[in-house]
Amino acid sequence: MTKLADVALSVLRANNTGLFVKPAADVYPFQWNWDSALIAIGLARVDAARGRQEVRALLRGQWADGMVPHMVFHDANVDYSPGPELWDSAACPGAPLVATSGLTQPPVLATAVRALHEASADLSFLEEVLPALEAWHLWLHRERDFDGSGLVAIVHPWESADNAPRFDRALARLRRDRVPAFDRSDRRHLAADERPTDRDYEGYMAIVHSLRRCDYRPRSPTEAPFAYVDVSFNSVLAAAEDDLAWLWRELGEGGARAAAAATRVRTALAGRWDDDAAVYRELDLHRGEEEVTGNVGELMPLYAGVPDEPQARRLFREALWAADRYGPTPEAPWAVTTVSRSNPNFDARRYWRGPVWVNINWFLVRGLERLGLTAEAEELRRMTLRLVEASGFSEYYDPATGEPLGSRDFSWSAALTLDLLRAPP
Q: Which residue of the set 118, 122, 128, 162 is catalytic?
A: 162
Q: Segment contacting ligand 9WN (CB under 6 A): 30-38, 42-50, 211-219, 332-340? A: 30-38
How many residues interact with ligand 9WN (rule CB under 6 A)? 8
C-beta of 69 vs 367, nearer to ligand 9WN: 69
Give the Å distances, CA to CA, from 293 to 127, 326, 334, 375: 41, 13, 21, 28
State the minimum distance, in angstroms, from the CB of residue 32 to ligand 9WN: 4
Cβ proximity to ligand 9WN, 32 vs 63, nearer residue? 32
Binding segment (CB under 6 A) for ligand 9WN, from list 26-34, 207-215, 279-287, 295-303: 26-34
Smallest separation, CB 170 to ligand 9WN (Å): 17
Q: Taking CB under 6 A as the rule, does residue 409 contact ligand 9WN?
A: no
Which among 32-40, 277-285, 334-342, 380-388 is the span making contact with ligand 9WN, rule CB under 6 A? 32-40
Does the protein bind ligand 9WN through residue 32 (CB under 6 A)? yes
Question: Of 266 and 353, which CB lies nearer to ligand 9WN in the complex structure?
Answer: 353
Residues 173-192 that bind ligand 9WN (CB under 6 A): 186
Active site residue 162: yes
Q: Which stretch binds ligand 9WN (CB under 6 A): 31-39, 205-213, 230-238, 319-327?
A: 31-39
Kindly tell me which of 125 and 226 has the beta carbon lying closer to ligand 9WN: 226
Kindly state whether residue 28 participates in binding ligand 9WN, applying the rule CB under 6 A.
Answer: yes
Q: Is 216 in the site for ligand 9WN (CB under 6 A)?
A: no
47 labelled catalytic: no
Which of 26, 128, 147, 162 touches ligand 9WN by CB under 6 A? Answer: 162
Which one of residues 34, 63, 167, 346 is an interface residue with ligand 9WN (CB under 6 A)? 34
Contact positions toward ligand 9WN, by CB under 6 A? 23, 28, 32, 34-35, 158, 162, 186
Please list the active-site residues.
162, 395
